[in-house]
Amino acid sequence: VLNWGNGGKSTVHGLNRITSDMNTTISSWGKLDYVLLLEGTNDYSWGLSPATTAYNIGRMIDKIKAVGAVPLVGTLTPDTKTNGKNIPRYNSAIISTVNAKEAILVDHYSIIVHAWSSLTYDGLHPTQEGYEFMANVWFSALLSQINGKNIVSILNLLLENE
């Protein structure tokens, strides 16, 4: 798992760098099977609408598919810090785009919203426990995409590295 995250940036920035990030990964590792995409958290602060966020994510999905990888797209986590942000509106637009593009939806928001107050330290950023919670959601979604043969290989690799 490689982290291409770039804090404080918008989906415009993500769209501008995703091809380069994927090409670097393919060049280094020989292939790219899955891309876990969680973009848009900062778009409100950059003045981007939910429709623009969804459009940019849709373009990223297209770029991911163009290199033969499977896009798994996460919804945004809650934000109880920023007034007016309306995460559900952003997530609704993201979900519509993910469905239209036939990508895999990973709905962090609906899974984490009820426990958010105990999984954030400031209403916006997850605590370590919050990130672990999200990692488990990603892992579950990823496992649902991998066939039984690959699961055995992954489990053997994990056991070898312990």
pLDDT at position 84? 83
pLDDT at position 87? 95
pLDDT at position 2? 73
pLDDT at position 52? 98
pLDDT at position 161? 57
Burial class (CB within 10 angstroms; exposed 0-12, middle 13-18, buried 19+) of 107: middle
Give residue 43's identity as a one-letter amino acid code: D
Q: In order along the chain (162 residues), what is the average pLDDT of each group of 10 residues?
A: 82 95 92 93 94 98 96 96 92 98 96 96 95 93 74 60 56
